[in-house]
Amino acid sequence: MLAGPADPMPAGAAGSDETEKIFLLVLELTNPEQRESALLELSKRRETFADLAPILWHSFGTISALLQEIVTIYPLLSPPSLTAQRRIACATRSRCCSAWRRTPTRARSS
């Protein structure tokens, strides 16, 4: 899953170390114990890593993990019981995926 010599480096990546770190963080999204810290780290890097949205979209299990996270925190949205970091992570993941130009229009409008 990590970028190798034959894989093209995503636009906006600072180098292969940065690319490998991004792929590692995306992989960590599928682990519930590491998900929140991975989301926070990815949210910090989304402006400098142009291809983050397609990587998230096309990585096996990532969108499923993000949807699971949304379903898990949904009941907490009525009373203001989310931490500031969790709210930022939620907003970031939805903006990141919906901002990608190839995200289906239906997904953006819901």
Query: What residues does each domain of the chain span?
Result: 16-109
Q: Encode pLDDT of 34-57 as tens digits.
A: 988 998 899 888 888 888 888 888
The three-point CA angle 12-96-70 to 5° equals 145
For residue range 82-103, what is the model confidence (pLDDT) as tens digits? 667 676 777 776 676 666 665 5
Which helix (H) or strand (E) segment holds residue 52: the answer is helix 52-58
Q: Which two tokens stand for residue 90?
A: 């939620």
Of 14, 24, 2, residue with least CA distance to 48: 14
Tell me the average pLDDT of the chain. Answer: 74
pTM tops 0.75: no
Confidence (pLDDT) at 76: 72
Which residue has better confidence, 26 or 73? 26
Distance CA 29, CA 39 (A): 7
Query: By the 8 A CB rule, do 53 and 100 touch?
Result: yes
Residue 74 or 87, more confident:
74
Separation CA 52–CA 23 (nearest Å): 9
